[in-house]
Chains A and B, each alone.
Chain A
Amino acid sequence: MRVDEQRRLRLALGLAIASALVAAAGMAAGGDGWSPAGLVRALGNAEGRLIVLQIRAPRTLGAWLTGALLGLSGAAAQGLFRNPLADPYLLGSASGAVLGVVLVLAAAALGGHAVSVATAQAIARFGLVGAAFAGALVGVLLTLSLARGAQETMHLLLAGVVVGVLLTAASDLVTTAAPDALRGKQAFLLGSTGFLGWQSCAFMALGLAVTLPVAWRLARVLDALTLGTETAVSLGLTLGRLRLALVAAIALATGVAVSQAGLIAFVGLIAPHLVRRFAPATHGFVLVASAAAGGALLLTADVLARTLIAPREVPVGILTAILGGGYLVWLLRGRRAA
């Protein structure tokens, strides 16, 4: 077996084992910290079983799925933009989701003032999850329309930045008019896996089942793009259409993830980096492995968030930011030393 294949196999096995072990740890992580004996005790009575099966199990699976969606979209975004620092929120999905959430949170306060009462009620009925998902998709659509499609990645990147700035300004404006929405906005910005139930898991599993095959099918497009846009076109690829499909997959995966867990930082950026560092490969492997790495990363961060200062929790987004930021600093120091 070639060295590359061995490394890929080792990474795949490592991610599977790590995911299984951390998932088991997640099932044993409760209000009194991490306790395998507590898990065994909990499974012995009906109330405990309910907690494990209805709270810990979906949260554990949900954290993995959120991370997988972010890892997948991060790998696709880095391939699409040919930039290892690209992250899935670049296309306007994050700022769109925040605006959606802020609008719902502020709807009651805005009713009769900035918007009509009927409009405010309609917005509120949409719910936080729906608003975040719709907001993320609207953000990406705005980016696409500003960039006039996906023909030029530089236009997409610039349009994403502009849409991000404008939508962030819009949500700041809403929170200025309705300060009550600030706390909810802050929680959404930090991200949380605490409210993930089986319904969220089903929604995210569906999102992954749709976006992973689409992205994987387009993996050769990302491979060809490593040789430059013109070479990819000379190889018979109709890049405008294919890039649009990739943007749709990235937007859908990101929108589904942020609608369930808020803006969890760094997972989409770091997961593909880790994969490429340990087992550099074609995008067919990198996309799938980044999804698995993202899942394992966020699950690990979630278990740490639940146990580090139990019975209180550290917002998981803060932990992923610390872990991700630390990894980038380590990477930077390694490069300087080299």
Chain B
Amino acid sequence: MTRLRATGIEVSLGGTRVLDGVSLDVRPGWTAIVGPNGAGKSTLLRVLAGLRPPDRGEIQLDDAPLASWDPRERARRIAWLTQQGSSSGDLTAREIVLLGRLPHLGLVASPGAADEAAVDRAMAEAECAAWSDRRPQQLSGGEQQRVLLARALAVEAPLLLLDEPTTHLDPPHQAALARLFRRRAAAGTKVVSVLHDLSLALAADRLVLLERGRVRAEGPADEPALHAALVEAFEGAIRIERVGGRWIAFPHLEQ
């Protein structure tokens, strides 16, 4: 199983320390990274994906430094979905999803049956196969997000890093996404997602709570000590309760 491990990661942006000694071993299953705004969640995901080198610390992919990997080889192992993604061109939804096969195809090779099948699977999983021939400007924000998610899924990488994948999605599709992560995780993919929706994050296998660039707590999502740390990190503005067999985070509206 592909391993991704970060040790002592430090990153500063514009003179501000955004990540301050973060260590993280990506475990099998679905891991949700949560934390208050500005905690460094998206930066951590970028560093894990190899998109930004850390100022200090080390990222190891399968026991070799991430920076030493050939970019295409790395891209076959780590799929990444950006926060607030969009497509500015004239590509159809299917053509966008097919870009997920770029690490396998390179610049010239034509897509084969395996690539087309991967695209079919990804579009079916992200529930966007119905608008294969439509272009982004013909899709709503939520529909575009599902196409971009399918693009990340089409890589069929053993590590799936997703930054706010629920952006623009309505509640049924957020729930469908959670089921999709569980299915992928059960099939052996390590899924790491940054999530602002704490209730959705509590449905993950594991939680990593970041606060001011540090890992404040980490562990199984149903661990009471982790829930307490979450409430504290959000300055008591939430409470976490078990409802219908699930952990739900409620914001205190009266504050």
Give 1 or 0 for each of A214-238: 1 = CB within 8 Å of chain B CB: 0001101101101110110111111
Give 1 or 0 for each of B100-118: 1 = CB within 8 Å of chain A CB: 1011010110000000000
Do A236 and B82 touch (CB < 8 A)? Answer: no
Do A217 and B96 touch (CB < 8 A)? Answer: no
Distance in angstroms between the alpha carbons of A3 and B138 in the assembled complex: 15
Asked if A333 is at the interface of the complex by the 8 Å CB criterion, the answer is no
Q: Which of B76, B95, B96, B108 is in CB contact (< 8 Å) with A236? A: B76
Do A276 and B90 touch (CB < 8 A)? Answer: yes
Distance in angstroms between the alpha carbons of A47 and B101 in the assembled complex: 60
- Nearest chain A CB to B195 CB, angstrom units: 19
Closest B residue to A230 by beta carbon equals B51
Asked if B68 is at the interface of the complex by the 8 Å CB criterion, the answer is no
Asked if B12 is at the interface of the complex by the 8 Å CB criterion, the answer is no
Distance in angstroms between the alpha carbons of A282 and B93 in the assembled complex: 12
Distance in angstroms between the alpha carbons of A125 and B31 in the assembled complex: 69
Distance in angstroms between the alpha carbons of A233 and B75 in the assembled complex: 8
Residues of A within 8 A of B95 (CB): 223, 282
Chain A interface size band reads: 20 to 34
- Nearest chain B CB to A217 CB, angstrom units: 6
Given the known A-B contacts A223-B89, A236-B72, are A228 and B108 also in contact in the complex, defined by CB atoms under 8 Å? no
Distance in angstroms between the alpha carbons of A10 and B45 in the assembled complex: 45
B residues neighboring A (CB under 8 Å): 46, 49-51, 71-76, 78-80, 82, 85-92, 95-96, 99-100, 102-103, 105, 107-108, 133, 135, 148, 151, 155
Listed A/B pairs (30) with beta-carbon separation below 8 Å:
A3-B133, A4-B92, A82-B88, A217-B108, A220-B102, A220-B107, A223-B89, A223-B99, A224-B102, A226-B87, A226-B88, A226-B91, A227-B85, A227-B96, A227-B151, A230-B82, A231-B80, A233-B51, A234-B49, A235-B100, A235-B103, A235-B155, A236-B74, A237-B71, A238-B71, A276-B90, A280-B135, A281-B90, A282-B90, A283-B89
